Amino acid sequence: MNKPKPSKLAAALGAFGFALSVAALAGGDHQRRHDHVPANQVPASASEWFRVGEMAVRANKRDAANLRRAKNVILFVGDGMGVSTVTAARILEGQLNGRDGEFNRLSFERFGNTALSVTASANQQTSDSAPTATAMVTGIKTNDGAISVDQTINRLEPNADVTAAKTVKTILERAEERGMATGVVTTARFTHATPAVNYAHSSNRDWEADSNLPAGATVKDIARQLLEFPYGDGLEVALGGGRSYFMPNTAADPEYPTQKGRRADSRDLTAEWTAKYNNSEYVWNQAQFDAVNPAKTDHLLGLFERSHMRYEADRKDDAAGEPSLAEMTEKAIKILQKNRKGYYLMVEAGRVDHAHHAGNAYRALTDAIALSDAVKKAKQLTNDKDTLILVTADHSHVFTIAGYPSRGNPILGKTAVDGVAAKDALGLPYTTLSYANGPGWTGGQQRKEFNPANESTAAAAYTGSKLRPDLSAVDTENPNYMQEATVPMGSETHAGEDVAIYADGPGAYLVRGTLEQNAIYHIMADALGWNDHR
């Protein structure tokens, strides 16, 4: 008897390794049906992506009589925080505090459940933040540059009706529909890709203000979508940078009087925020932020820089003052937890990514440590019986830890073994941390084809002059040092390997194995009890 032909969805499930485990839930006949599912077919629509992510979570469910549901969910995203970044940040944090860095652990590394997240998007092997963040908050995968719209949309679709037809509802929007409180905290611009995917829908992540839109476009810019948010009673907390995208181009910035806003439509969205919501506040500096009373504030907008907030290492240099990521997280939780129906909160350490792009490991790692501090604060303020906390990254970077340095060797320093500097084939010292590409390129060694006759002499495999710099007298632990890069590029690039997911609280057991990134949405939805499959 001929076996039934596998469905397109079943083939998609097979492509991600889920078919066998999902089939096992339905019995032996269904199991046999998936034995020969093609492994080269991926979902071709938003509905298929959504279903694949949901089924991955269902396949991971345990048989247990009393599985708690989450009342609250907090999603922490270290933008660009790949595994090598976590490792190096762990070591740096320990060394900065006089501890064994290798034995040290960041706060979220102590969570009981971990998994790997596949970050490839619907059209990219190595992705940018827009589709990867979209995957986490919508349950589907989409294309490069897309903000919570499906993969069938044109990359530069200017029409509002077309965009609406391609829109995919986010976990924040679904939470607002259910009467929950919601918030987003970031150190990047609030209109930047990762925070924007929660509340906005656009084919182009760069349309942050109306002045960024093409002529004749009817789609709303990203900042405007925050103020015209149609679900529930709107976001309760919105904290980050990007003040200029909310201000008219006729108004002077309060911190930088010689600079003006970016909006061409004359709208002051900061003023509209306080006019729209009762018991609302808009703040732009540390003193105003500190004065906000969570018990009396129901809607808080904080925009602490014209563009991105400062790196953690540079916050002290801001005359007006900027709150730390941990401080913003604390304020957000205290406002959101007033809602008896629970809350959803995303917290992004957005500038880990920016420092990596600049080839500057120190600021990338210290911002990753700041994220760890924010997670620690969240753990102190919540109960693991009712709050699911996830920590992950949208993608990685081409950031490496190499050589054979001894344990305890400064992670930002030059590689040394038992105190003796290690040397490359040219007799020059090198750092433990480096990048595969980026602005730290310093010339590189001119190579020739490998000659087996000279393989006993490493230098004989090379030709040309010593174009690498001699780092002997260079302080590579200086916060401004740019690590060397192999390939010259104006900006270092993302990397395509899997990133980690760390989980604690109700539903954390679903975080295991290797998951497609869009499964993160389904884990959160399931923990909140939105998927009644138990």
Dump the DSSP string for 391-442: EE-S-EESEEE-S-PPTTS-TTSB-EETTEEPB-TTS-B-BSEEEEEETTB-
Task: Specify whether 307 is catalytic.
Answer: no
Closest CA to 201 of 176, 177, 220, 178: 220
Query: DSSP secondary-structure letter at 178?
Result: T
Query: DSSP secondary-structure letter at 511?
Result: -
Judging by beta carbons within 10 Å of its beta carbon (0-12, 13-18, 19+), is residue 403 exposed, middle or buried? middle
Question: Which 3 state secondary structure label does DSSP give 101?
Answer: coil
Q: Are β-strands 72-78 and 343-349 bridged in parallel, bridged antiparallel, or unpaired?
A: parallel
Measuring CA to CA, how many Å separate 135 from each of 52, 79, 118, 198, 519? 12, 14, 11, 11, 8
Angle at CA 91, nearest 5°, toward 86 and 96? Answer: 125
> Quick one: angle between helices 46-59 and 19-26, nearest 10?
70
Q: Give CA–CA dist 437/399, Å, rounded.
A: 9
| Cβ proximity of 219 and 148 under 8 Å | no
- Size of the chain in residues: 534
| Cβ proximity of 43 and 14 under 8 Å | no
* Residue of 129, 244, 396, 434 with catalytic role: 129
Q: Give CA–CA dist 230/239, Å, rounded.
A: 19
Residue in the block written with tokens 């014209």: 306
Question: Which 3 state secondary structure label does DSSP give 196?
Answer: helix
Q: Give CA–CA dist 14/20, Å, rounded.
A: 7
Q: Give CA–CA dist 156/150, Å, rounded.
A: 13
Dump the DSSP string for 310-345: PPGGGGGG-SS----HHHHHHHHHHHHTT-TT-EEE
Please give the backbone phi and psi of residue 505, each rounded to the nearest 5 degrees, phi first: 110, -170
Please give the backbone phi and psi of residue 315, each rounded to the nearest 5 degrees, phi first: -60, -35
Q: Give CA–CA dist 325/331, Å, rounded.
A: 10
Q: List the beta bridge partners of residue 75.
A: 346, 390
Active site residues: 129
